[in-house]
Amino acid sequence: MTYMTQLNPATGELITEIPETDPAAVHAAMQRARAAFPSWSQTPLAERLRYLKRVREHLVDGIETIAKDIAKATGKVEIEAVMAEIFPTADTLHYYEKEAANILAPKRVKTPILFFGNHSYVEYKPMGVVGVISPWNYPLYLSIVPVLSALIAGNCVLFKPSEVTPLVGAVIEDLFTAAGFPPGVVQVLHGGRETGQAVVAAKPDKIFFTGSVATGKKIMAAAAEHLIPVELELGGKDPMIVFADADIDRAVKGALWGAFTNAGQVCMSVERLYVEESVYDEFVRKAVAATKQLRQGIEYGSMTFPPQLELVQEHLQDAIDQGATIQCGGRALQEGTLYFEPTVLTGVTPDMRIMREETFGPVLPIMPFKTEQEAITLANDSEYGLNASVWSKDLPKAKRVASQLISGNVCINDVITTVANPHLPFGGVKHSGMGRYHGPEGLHTFSHPTSIMVNKGTKPREINWHPYTPELHQAFNTLTQFLYGKKRSVPFPALKNLIGQVLGTYRKPKTTATTTPTTQQNTQNQNLPM
């Protein structure tokens, strides 16, 4: 058996080894999931939610141990493991416990007048087996939420956690085991790239991937061969716009947290900071002073993945070579660990790699702007579009700017927070991905919406059926003009005839066995479509 090694990136010490799933075993896992799907999809929602509740309770009961495991696997400080992983996971699960029944209930919708007497609704049906492939930066939160969302909707799940943080994958597997899910409903497949490829090759009914743009494109290309729908939660290069009328002290604190939390390894990190020219020098001065006060191991942890640290250093060197200045930080700390000093960078230009490519590390590049339109243009000048933030005491202005940003999410006078609101849909545009989860969309994205129209079937025919007659043609002309044209152009006799045409297909003539229709009635009936 092959094992994956889990090192503590903050210390370099060996923590544990996790058995790896043989990629060849993924096919058998898919067969088990297919076999489990009919029963699980028919399990009442209230019962499925009881499993969800058990996961939440086990998670919260084990908060201290689980937080330590997350911190050891990722290098983040424990408070961030609680604040940004465990708490929002529990909050989101609790939200779905309360709202899932309403979200997944059939939705009545209106029916056009043409189908008068019918009623219409939408049902949400499970898709089948969902493959979830999750990342290493928030290995608990970004795994459990999509996995359990798919399960709530009635799907079975093949879940591949990141090979960079296998310890957290094992923690999640223990939570699912403790919750007592039926066999085959949710299976954890530990492994690296080959295991992920095997999940895609097993042809799940949907793939939910969180990770890099490069890997997302490969998954999408492979899924396209079999027309498998994909949802991609990818990277970001998120801009922060600070106007001169903002609370500068608050904006500095927000920028530092947005750039340095989780060592900058957040898809929604502040990676481009634009400050209005008149307050730029003040902002930089305060940001540098506050950054120097951050304490290693308390306010900021280590990075998680060695290649990512190398990329941060490449971006910084490229910026320096082109004239940028490191105001503070910029150094790797403690050989054998992945600590990197929080770094403030000035003198940057829009064409530098550090302003265009996702850095995913504790670096805050700051650039001035002169006008509102310039700030909007700079913020939108990116192939990414995950999150953005606008800072101003003038809320109408802030909202005006927010509405012009090409981004899946926008915060005003705060950063990152939209992802932690379970009521809001979350996702990106452009290279930041496609699809939405969280909120009602978080369950609908794992469902087939089925549109249903119900006809009581009591009439011999419908108005739009054969045979076609001149009277029917005229009736539809009149109906179209009356509903969608200049209503005064429809004469009353024509409208009356239209009503007769419609009602004639819904009402039987009022005759009795002892009554003979009059000549006038026969003449009228000849004008109705039979």
Beta bridge partners of 430: 384
Q: Name the residue with tokens 């606008």.
A: 390
Task: Provide the CA 117 distance to its chain's centre, in angstroms.
Answer: 38
Identify whether 156 is a catalytic site residue. Answer: no
3-state class of 183 per DSSP?
A: coil
| Chain-centroid distance, C-alpha 65 | 28
The active-site residue out of 20, 80, 85, 267 is 267
3-state SS of 19-72?
ECCCHHHHHHHHHHHHHHHHHHHHCCHHHHHHHHHHHHHHHHHCHHHHHHHHHH
Do the Cβ atoms of 270 and 255 come closer than 8 Å?
A: yes
Helix (H, G, I), strand (E, B) or coil at 499: helix
- 3-state SS assignment for residue 523: helix
Determine contact, residues 72/167, Cβ cutoff 8 Å.
yes
φ and ψ at residue 500, rounded to 5 degrees: -65, -40
- Distance separating alpha carbons of residues 6 and 166, to the nearest angstrom: 6
Q: State the maximum Cα–Cα separation within the chain, in Å, rounded to a whole number.
A: 105
Contact criterion met (CB below 8 Å) for 189 and 19 = no
The single-letter code of the amino acid at 343 is: T
Handedness of CA 43, 54, 195, 26 (dihedral sign): negative
Q: Tell me which of 233, 271, 276, 358 is the catalytic residue.
A: 233
Examine residue 350 and say whether the peptide bond preceding it is cis (omega within 30 degrees of 0): no
Q: What is the DSSP string of 208-244?
A: EEES-HHHHHHHHHHHHTTT--EEEE----EEEEE-T
The helix, strand and coil proportions of the chain, stated in percent and rounded to the nearest 5, come to: 45, 20, 35
* Residue 305 main-chain phi, psi, to 5 deg: -120, 115
- Annotated active-site residue 233? The verdict is yes
Sheet of strand 325-328: strand arrangement: 325-328, 343-346, 363-369, 270-276, 238-242, 387-391, 409-412
Buried b (16+ CB within 10 A) or exposed e, 12-28: eeeeeebebbebeebee
Residue 296 pairs in a beta bridge with: 300
Q: Is 67 exposed, middle or buried (0-12, 13-18, 19+ CB in 10 A)?
A: buried
Active site members:
233, 267
